[in-house]
Structure formats: C-alpha cells, structure tokens
Amino acid sequence: MKMRINKQALCACALLAAAVSVRAAQSQNGVTFTINAAQDVHSISRYIYGINQPIPSGSNLTYDRLGGNRWTAYNWTNNYSNAGNDYRYSNDTFLGGRSTPGGAMIPRIENAAANHAGLLLTVPMNGYVSAAKSGFASPTTPPSDSPYFVPEYANAPASVTGMSTKPVYENQFVQWVKSHFPKDFTAGTTTPINFDLDNEPSLWPNTHPEVHPAPLTYAELLQKSITYSSMIKSIVPHSLVYGPVSYGWGAYRTLQNARDSAADNAAMDPYTGKPYGNFLSYYLAKMRLAGKAAGKRLLDVLDLHWYPEATGNGTRITTESSTDPAVVAARLQAPRSLWDSTYVEKSWIAQSLGGKAIDLLPRLQREINANYPGTKLSFSEYNYGGGSDISGGIAEADVLGIFGKYGVYSADEWPGASSEPFIRAAFAMYRNYNGHGATFGDKSISAGTSNVADTSVYASLDSKDPSHMIVIAINKTAHALTATIHLDHMKTFDKAEIYQLTHSSANPVFVGNRSITNPKFFTYTMPAYSVSTLNLIAVRNRSRN
C-alpha cells in the first residue's frame, strides 16, 4: 500500500527541527555570566537551607520544621495525634514521645540545637486535639461528641494553676518550651525556636474533618491568628510568629473559596484605600491593624507552602517518579515562575491569571509592602519533584539560589519520597560542597546570565572572609555549555576550586583547580545537566587597580 505523505506536516516538522537546531547551536556557542560584587548586595538569610526532617549530622543545614497534617491535632500533654484523612483518621502515638509532655518534640529540638540550626514548631489552633485513646475516629462524628478528642484553647483561665489535660491550653505548651529550652529564646541566637500557627488551615475540612468539619472563614482564621499570636508573644516576645501557613494558590487568593471571601476581598483597606483583592492582602492588612492595636507586631513571617502546578505532557513536575522528558523540561524551567515576569508555565495557575506569568516572589513582596511592611517571607513546605534524578537536584539548587537572591527569610523542603539523593546533593552544593563544611556565602551579589532558559548563576561573598567568592553555575541543557564569566570585584582571583553535581553521582565531586589569569573574566565549561560550585580564591591577596 502506498503511503500518503502530508506535505504540510512535513514542512512544519522541518521548520521545527530547524528552530531546534538553531537554538541548540546558539546554546552550544556558550553563555555569558556577569558578576558584580558592588551591586545588589544584601544578606542571605541562613534559614533558607531548611527541611521538614531532623537535620542530618554533618549536612550543615540550618532550619527544621515540625509541621504537616499530623501536628494539627497534636496534644503536647500526652503526645497523641490524629492522621486525618492521610490514614483513616487514626488516633495514636505515631509521633513518639511516650507519656512525657512534649516528648514528641524533644528529640527534634535537641537535634536542631546540636546541629546549630533553628526550629519551627507548630501550635495547634483548630479547636481540638487528640485524647489519650487509640483507634479510628469517625470524620462524621462532631469532635465535641467524640471520645478521641479534647478541646484546646490559646490561654488557660487564671484559676488553672497546673498542667491541664482536659481541655488543653497552648499557652502552657509555649511556656513548657520556654522553660525547658531557655537559651533558644535569646535575641540573636543562631538556634531560635519559632512558632507556626497550625498547618494549612484552609484545608481543615478536607484533611481534618474529624476536628474541624466546618469550612473555614476569613473571620475565624483572623481571630484565631490574633489570639494565638498574642499568646505566643506574651510568653516569648523574641520568637517569630509564622502564619497563615497556606497550602497553595487557592488559599492565597480566597482561602479555598471561603464563604466570606467575596465580601472581604472587596472590602476597603484603610491603609491603601483600595479593596483588599485577595486573602493574603486581607490577612496582612488585618494583622497589621491588630498589631497596631496591641502595640507590637503579631505577624513576623508570612508563611506559605508552594508545590508547583507546572506540567509536562499533562503530568505535574512534583510527580516524584516521573522522568518523562517533558516533565523534566518543565521541572527545570519551573523555578523561573518564582521571579521571571516573562516566563509563563503550563499550569492552571497561569491560566487563571489569563496566561500571564506567576512572578511569585515579586508578587508576594508587593503585597507585603502594601499591607504589612517589614513582614518576612517563608516557604515552610515546597518540593519540585525528581529527588532521585539530576533534574530534581538542578531545580532544588536553582530554587535555593533564588531564595537567597530575592530575600526569602526561611524555607523548609518537604520530602516527596523516602529518599531524595539529588535534592540532598543540591543542598550540599550550597552548604557542604567540599565535605568539610564549606558553604555558599552570606552576602548575595549581582549575578546574571545571557540565557535564563538554559542556565542560572548565583554569586556570594563571605562577610567574615573576603578572600574568596562562591559562584553557583547551573546548566539545564543536555549538552556541555561554556560560560564566559565576567568579574567586577575589588580583589583579583587567582584560581577556582571546582565542584560538580551531575547525573553520575548524587554527591558533590571535586574535579580540580584552574588558574584565573585575567582579573576581568575567565571561561568555564559546565557539564550537561549540572550544578557547579566555583570557589574563587585570591591566593596572593591582590587588589585590582
């Protein structure tokens, strides 16, 4: 049978192949990185290198969070918690700690301190916590009628002098933490203990109907936030309060379609004279008003979760096991949605914006500046998938660089799988690239690339050791790329120590030193799909004229 040839399709394929060939040729011709140590200089928060797990010994990570669905109904007096719909609404001692009050938290608090890391603890505020009874609670039974739960409140009445177990008072919990770990509440400590206002409250009716079956409203969450934050600040004024711990875009915009969202989003903000516009703007402005009335800040950190909705071939990039080329390509580009106003990802979020860029960090910073200036920004949960693939390591390294460059205060990666070797290696490229504790610097400086689709570059200085500069160079392509790195710095660097993360090993690998003979620029060839940490060293301690 003779095949019928579609000449129109053949022509389109030829044009596509030609376009791909031109782009590949342009990429292979190289890329230019421009670094200027006198521009865009600002501190990098040490707390962006965090995880939602105990800090591994020797990892040099800086922040741990005890959070997630299990902590919404955690009872600090007996260490019982409830799994919610993650596992049959099981009421049990899964978190450990036995009968010691606060026992489930003690190992993590001690682990963070031993590893010179900060800690973010969750304070339940949904209204009920687990009673000392094991079994499967019914989500259709009101918590007030269930033997599995006891009420919880922010503050104990003055008449209550000892630890109360029925009901549970969270001010006694915060006081217990302060009493047992007082050094972590000293101003300026590198191992602070801070507090999250529960976990993903807009999803309580879905994740925890056994304790909060009713849909949340703006009014309820705001009042709870003010009450619990005021309590925390009265006991540990130097600790930072994080809220509203929103799960994602739907919570950011309307608190998951709360019934009072339309009215409150349209209400007039007394500071700006304009409608609030979305839930986060409303929350920030109202917390600012509450803080003004209280005479102290009641919200220190705007805390959000971010699991990208970007897709490749219809599959989300956070699908951990997927290494489909389209998913990998989408994963490698997805960090651009954090900052790039020209990049539009394939996701329902971008569609909801009319096919425009998400531009997340600048968008959030504008909302903070307009509604509660000075509020810090946190992502206490995030994950870009691909933890067992080099693409996951590249995405994680890109995100860490972006967090430092754009002034995020703290971040805690949430593990998408039991083992994420390439994500852990990406952290090491910033926090332990030589295996002996060497780190990316604490001062971000200007670093730009001529090709943001194929590459990323981040640069830093160490405020305590000006003799070197650390550069993170990322190649998102399937072929080697030569970068011409232009340097503008008062010091002249003599050599570069080079460490690489590639698909060959889920660990940083030292690949040697290279001399830098020209004080203004040098070239470096990045392997395909790689993250490189370059330690630029001024051996002779010379200064440029």
The Cα–Cα gap between 167 and 365 comes to 39
> Known catalytic residue: 200?
yes
DSSP state of 150: E
> 10 Å Cβ neighbour count for 100?
13
Tokens of 347: 């996701």
- Which helix (H) or strand (E) segment holds residue 157: the answer is none
Distance in Å from the first CA to the final CA of the chain: 77
Q: Is 467 helix (H, G, I), strand (E, B) or coil?
A: strand
CA-wise closest residue to 525 among 485, 495, 493: 485
Write out 170-199 in H/E/C secondary structure.
HHHHHHHHHHHCHHHHCCCCCCCEEEEECC
Strands, DSSP E only, in 268-408? Answer: 301-306, 311-312, 315-316, 376-382
- In sequence order, the β-bridge partners of residue 525 are 482
The Cα–Cα gap between 128 and 148 comes to 10
DSSP state of 251: H
**Are 242 and 301 spatial neighbours (Cβ–Cβ below 8 Å)?**
yes
CA of 414: how far to CAs of 271, 327, 379, 402, 483, in Å?
Answer: 36, 20, 10, 17, 33
Per the residue annotation, which of 152, 170, 200, 320 is the catalytic one? 200
CA atoms within 13 A of residue 394's CA, in its CB half-sphere: 30
CA angle, 337 as apex, 332 and 338 as ends, to 5°?
A: 105
- Which helix (H) or strand (E) segment holds residue 534: the answer is strand 530-537
Residues 6 or more apart in contact with residue 240 via CB below 8 angstroms: 192, 194, 195, 300, 301, 376
The Cα–Cα gap between 251 and 105 comes to 28
CA angle, 235 as apex, 71 and 194 as ends, to 5°?
A: 45
Residues 6 or more apart in contact with residue 26 via CB below 8 angstroms: none
Q: Is 523 helix (H, G, I), strand (E, B) or coil?
A: strand
Catalytic residues: 200
